[in-house]
């Protein structure tokens, strides 16, 4: 991620949180070169591969329009189509970050559970997949630090 101030080609994630509907992640970043901070919003994009081989962004409205057309003359109500649209959701995902010196898996999880917004990510019912990353080194000037990231996905 380029720094928007000095165009440095790297940035450090200081904090991250999922938006309320879980469709994107806001990250607070700091540039290691000029020290300025900025926010990024990342969203997952779901693509549909057409029969022709071309791809286009997933569109709930198009899915429903296609099903409506296929169901013409059949006993399918608008209510049933609306229900289908609701279920044809895109993916949701979330992320918790932690860093510090002398951290253990237990202390990281305890800190997340004690923080309402980290706890909400950990316990979100739709999440079915998890990825964990841990890096050791110097972080924000603190040697011997561990940076822990947990990413969740589901629907």
Cβ closest to Zn ion, residue 24 vs residue 33: 33
**What interhelical angle do 60-70 and 78-87 show, nearest 10?**
140
Beta strands in the chain (DSSP E): 12-18, 24-30, 37-43, 47-49, 55-57, 92-101, 127-139, 142-154
Cβ closest to Zn ion, residue 15 vs residue 56: 15
Cβ closest to Zn ion, residue 29 vs residue 118: 29
CB 99 within 8 A of CB 146: yes
Kind and range of the H or E run holding 109: helix 105-114
In the complex, minimum distance from the CB of residue 4 to Zn ion, in angstroms, rounded to a whole number: 8
Cβ closest to Zn ion, residue 3 vs residue 150: 3
In the complex, minimum distance from the CB of residue 137 to Zn ion, in angstroms, rounded to a whole number: 21
Interacting residues with Zn ion (CB under 5 A): 3, 5-6, 8, 31, 33-34
In the complex, minimum distance from the CB of residue 141 to Zn ion, in angstroms, rounded to a whole number: 17
In the complex, minimum distance from the CB of residue 1 to Zn ion, in angstroms, rounded to a whole number: 11
- Distance (Å, rounded) from C-alpha 101 to C-alpha 109? 15
């Amino acid at each position: 991620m380029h720094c928007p101030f000095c165009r440095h080609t790297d940035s450090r994630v200081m904090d991250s949180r999922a938006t309320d509907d879980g469709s994107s992640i806001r990250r607070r970043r700091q540039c290691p070169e000029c020290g300025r901070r900025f926010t990024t919003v990342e969203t997952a994009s779901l693509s549909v591969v057409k029969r022709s081989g071309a791809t286009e962004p997933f569109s709930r409205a198009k899915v429903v329009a296609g099903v409506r057309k296929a169901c013409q003359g059949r006993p399918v109500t608008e209510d049933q189509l609306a229900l289908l649209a609701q279920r044809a959701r895109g993916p949701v995902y979330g992320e918790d970050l932690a860093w510090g010196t002398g951290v253990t898996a237990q202390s990281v999880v305890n800190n997340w559970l004690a923080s309402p917004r980290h706890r909400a990510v950990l316990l979100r019912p739709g999440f079915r997949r998890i990825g964990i990353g841990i890096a050791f080194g110097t972080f924000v000037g603190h040697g011997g630090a561990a940076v822990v990231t947990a990413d969740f996905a589901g629907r």
